[in-house]
Amino acid sequence: MVGRVCFDRGMSKPVKVRRLSDHEGRQLQQIVRRGGGRSEKSIVRWRRAMVVMASASGNTVPAIARLVQTSEDRVREMIHRFNDKGMASLDPQWAGGCPRQITTDDEVFIVATATARPETLGQPFTRWSLRKLVGYLADNSSRVVSVGRERLRQILDANDVTFQRTKTWKESNDSDRDAKLDRIEEVIEQYPERCFAFDEFGPLAI
């Protein structure tokens, strides 16, 4: 399958997200794949990740605004915030309400449990899910921890714990990778009327 990314003439300096690191790319992809969930906080985080991923893929601000059904100014704000603060910009900063306190010892126990094989803890399955882990943490003989799925997901993300490795985000081992990306960005900025043709193996021609 071949895709095309076109850039409008006259757009000398479009607002776009900075170059993502491999780690950021994997995290964003995981958030987008999980979907918005049910809580308002997780929906906000999902939409912001969608904006960043769409911008990193070469989409314009108007196109992204239509995709996530918000204003172009709001999209620009999200992009600028990500460029300044990185992944922390995805989390909504709401002043209202007091979140349930998870102590440092609780977090250590959560991570240790999540990285242990369920069979070693007497569980009749071979892999954790968020639902299963929440249930075990709330009812076990070692340390009872009451935590919601979204808060648990944040703790696991912060400690680089995943239950399923992402397979479609590829890390390049090309020693000239950064130089090639710099050249592509230079061409995009200097020749906005150009189009790039690419497939799963990379650019076909510039």
pTM of the model as a whole: 0.45
pLDDT score recorded for residue 109: 92
- The domain locations on the chain are 13-92, 104-158, 175-206
3-state secondary structure 51-109: HHHHHHCCCCHHHHHHHHCCCHHHHHHHHHHHHHHHHHHHCCCCCCCCCCCCCHHHHHH
pLDDT at 73: 87
Residue ranges in the chain whose pLDDT is less than 50: 1-12, 165-168, 205-206
**pLDDT tens, position by position, 46-81:** 889 999 999 998 899 999 988 888 888 889 999 999
| Enclosing H/E stretch for 114 | helix 104-114
Output the CA angle 19-20-25, nearest 5 degrees.
155
Distance, in Å, from the CA atom of 157 to the CA atom of 14, rounded to the nearest integer, reads 31
